[in-house]
Structure 1
Amino acid sequence: MKMVWVITGVILILTAAVLAGFLYLKSKSIGDPESIIDYVQEHRETENMAMVIRYNDEDWVSINKDVPLPLASTVKIIVAIEYARQAADGKIDPQQKVDLKTLEKYYVPKTDGGAHEAWVKSLADDAENVPLSEVANGMIAYSSNANTDYLIKVLGIENVNKLSDVLQLSSHEEMYPIVSALFIPMELMEDKGFTKEEALNELKIMSLEEYRKRAINIHQKWETSPPQEKDKQEVVKVLDTEFQKVWSDRLPRAAAGDYAELMKLLNSKSYFSKEVHSYFDPVMEQLMKNPSNREWLQHAGQKGGSTAFVFTISMYATDKEGNRIEMAFLANDLSNLEFKKLSNNMNSFQLEFMTNSEFRKSVKEKLH
């Protein structure tokens, strides 16, 4: 997969894009960075948007930094960190072979815009298995939801959720398997005899605790009784826009301030051990695989995500001159037009901010 720091999106749930990764081209920017400033100005008084930017340890932008919002695939950063921690501790073997057929258990066609298929196509034509490290790579570089849920099983959902406490991310909600959550509506319809409308109403009033528990239980059942193709096809039929909205609203939330702090820890290269970074950086820092980026960046990493209603991104970078940036942006309840505006222009905003001192000054004046 050719990675360019021009936003590459894949559909997560029918019309929802997931930002898998970018490659930052210093010499070329496509988009209107000012439109991001306009959006933030228009929505800063709401609680559906949050932006935190730090530049060389200075708070540049801090809007709604304590408001928890859905993270979408940006939450996969947490899974990647736990993967690296356990690899460094010898609890898992990054070279352990994983059968591609095992990952198929967690893959539901037409629910990720071809992300998982794109990752599989990037492998050797005759590949039947891959090392665990490549599963983690597919989770970040291609935003494979199937790989994410498999890693959650390997790492242990309890360990993944404990990490938020270890990192002191006080706003972070607990994670759960995101693919198995898609099956909750069908489970309600089958087990309780609900109609589609009744299942939707039940989901709307269901506590988040029960919702998580159901997703985890479904995930665990798949160990001995994985979903059949007909089950996956039925799930896709059930998931209309109203169900997608409930699913999107129930995604794990956190505050932009916490994710900006997390980006600072990753950018420092000193909070986690060198051993942890030796496993984490090759997965997270997809940007550095491009020789052009290595010419002017010491390191850089980011992960974004979205649904039809959500757009998120968290990133960190240090350039060759030692300038450091950390950013977290979360937006919810987006219209189609707003979504396009953000997805088409966020990359150019980041580019201008990192390379243009006059633009940085303008951002500070308008958004501080």
Structure 2
Amino acid sequence: MILGGIAAAGVWMFHRERNALDPAYIVQLTKEKSKTRMISLFIRRNQEEWAAVNVHQPLPLASTVKIIVAIAYAQQAAKGKIDPQQQVPFAELERFYVPKTDGGAHEAWMAQWTKENERDSVPLCEVAKGMIAYSSNANTEYLMNALGLPVINKVLESLTLSRHEPLYPIVSALFVPAQLMAEQGLSKEEALHAMKKMDITEYRQRALQIHQKWLDRPPIEKEKERTRNLLDREFQKVWSDRLPRSTTADYVSIMEKLNKKTFFDQQVHRCLDPVMEQLMKNPDHQKWLCHAGQKGGSTAFVLTMAMYATDKQNNQTELAFFADGLTPLEQAKLSRNINGFQLKLLTDPAFRTYVKKELACSG
């Protein structure tokens, strides 16, 4: 897996998972790695800070950045600039799909959609839902083109996010090493060296050029396969390190705006909530939650999560957790326990007290 959203994150966020063996692991790892500044956790409950660790430290977002694309989609739909019911041919999405780079997310979404609908196209609103619930990278790159990156990056200004880096086509960026090798006749080792030295502005521009080229001539399967074979762990690390970064302080501020439902007008929420709050389709969640939404993301080195929820007692919780530089074991243990951590945080007073005691003053 090169770029993996946490598959179906919006669907199974609050399931009582048997495999969530130790939700306290998130607390333990955060304390252990807090001084490295490679981990950040911010929890706010009923306007009170319950945990605040490195909340102003920018870290790679991975697929959690798709929240910004979802907001841009909803704003444009609310203004009538795009039609949520516009049919998008599967072929248009396929041009941005690179197999084996998203943990099977796009294929899982396609399988679910085609099982329920015998069509070769999908409404734009469902493209946005697939981006969040299944973390489809192809859907994300399609929406980047349909909405326009300037429109998407204006969301960062409107939300007054202090340390959020601009979005760019992160799947197209996977092809930058191959582009360098073809243009300059570099070996693999030379391309890796050039990538490490490359200015981030040039890197983003190259990714955008590749993205725009795909509009006229999408890569053929051989080109996709060649790129996948090139991307060993060292290239993946360079790519992961250059993903858009932000802070948990920024993302808790976004979660609070989505949770309170007063920052955006109701037209925006009518388009945004069905995308961000797909877990509320579950009757079990409806019994104890008024509304809730989340998005997670991961690479081989990164795991991120942002969440908001309001329960039936009107308790409001916002959370953002970002970690980078993870070992494979840390990555696996975080993936197993992050959802159990969120569930206990929302439902277990004793666990909340434990988290607050351990992390409220961690820095």
Shorter-chain TM-score tier: over 0.9
Partner of 1:188: 180
List alignment gaps of at least 5 residues for structure 1. 1-10
What does residue range 122-133 of structure 1 map to in structure 2 within 5 Å?
Answer: 122-125=112-115, 126-133=118-125
> Any conservation in 2 of the 1:116–1:146 contact (CA below 8 Å)?
yes
Alpha-carbon offset, residue 359 of structure 1: 1.2
- Cross-structure match for 1:105: 95
Q: TM-score, normalised by structure 2?
A: 0.95
Question: Quick one: which of 62, 75, 82 aligns to 2:65?
Answer: 75
Q: Tell me whether 1:228 sits opposite 2:217 in the alignment.
A: no
Instruction: Tell me how many residue pairs correspond in the alignment.
Output: 356
Equivalent residue runs for 1:75-224 within 5 Å: 75-125=65-115, 126-224=118-216
User: Could you tell me how far apart the structure 2 residues matched to 1:223 and 1:342 are?
Assistant: 37
State the 1:349 CA deviation. Answer: 1.2
Aligned to 2:290: 298
Question: What is the CA-CA distance between 1:26 and the residue it aligns to?
Answer: 6.8
Question: Distance between the aligned counterparts of 2:303 and 2:77, measured in 1?
Answer: 30
Check whether the contact 1:31–1:344 (CA below 8 A) recurs between aligned residues. yes
Partners in 2 of 1:255 and 1:20 — Cα distance?
A: 23
Q: CA deviation at 1:23?
A: 2.9
SS of residue matched to 2:314: coil
Q: Is 1:277 aligned with 2:269?
A: yes
Q: Does 1:337 align with 2:329?
A: yes
Tell me the alpha carbon deviations over residues 120-146 of structure 1, each in whole angstroms, 9 at most, x when there is no partner. Answer: 111135321011001101101110000
Q: Quick one: percent identity of the two aligned structures?
A: 54
TM-score by length of structure 1 reads: 0.94
Contact 1:19 1:306 (C-alpha < 8 Å) held by counterparts: no
Contact map agreement 2:33 2:39 (CA 8 A) in 1: yes
Matched residue of 2:215: which SS? coil
Matched, 1:288 2:280: yes
4+ residue runs over 4 A deviation: 24-29
Answer yes or no: is the 8 Å Cα contact 1:284–1:301 preserved in 2: yes
- Counterpart of 1:7? none
Confirm or deny that 1:366 pairs with 2:358.
yes
State how far apart, in whole Å, the 2-side matches of 1:250 and 1:19 are.
22
Task: Note closer, same or farther for the CA distance 1:232–1:318 as it changes in structure 2 (3 Å cut).
Answer: same
8 Å CA contact 2:295, 2:306 repeated in 1? yes
1:243, distance to aligned residue in structure 2 (A): 0.5
Matched, 1:320 2:312: yes
Relative to its length, the structure with more helix (as a share) is 2
Q: Deviations over 1:136-176 (max 9, x none)?
A: 01101110000000000010001111110110011000110
CA contact (8 A) 2:5 2:296 kept: no
Mapped partners of 2:129, 2:80: distance in 1: 19
Distance in 2 (alpha carbons) for counterparts of 1:63 and 1:54: 12
Task: Specify which of 47, 50, 54 is matched with residue 60 of structure 1.
Answer: 50
Choose which of 228, 234, 238 in structure 2 pairs with 1:246: 238
